[in-house]
Structure 1
């Protein structure tokens, strides 16, 4: 997947994010992009298709990525 032009992206951060370990998410032309807020746009960006993002969210809601699941 080619990296989309993110110059006009509207980055969103969760309202429950604290100081430090936060990520931002943007949706541009059918691609979901995720970046680390502390890099202020200069770090790497992960990109996902709509289908990949939907699968990730479904797994997160089901608890598949809870720390206990990842460690075990």
Structure 2
């Protein structure tokens, strides 16, 4: 795992309390119930703090943030 992916997995595990959260980089985190709306906000805040990015809530598209790989892609684009 690269550094960005590792940090994303750490954030997911911290927010959800699940040791296996984010281990499957292509798992749909919303569909599989890993993230709900409250956890999503917490993850976004942590991502913004960790990577010094801004994720405009008005532009947030759940389908673009549904897996670890997609989150990593979004973070790289916003850095």
TM range (shorter): under 0.3
- Considering fraction of residues, name the structure with more strand: 1
Highest CA radius of gyration, 1 or 2?
1
User: What's the TM-score once normalised by structure 1's chain length?
Assistant: 0.26
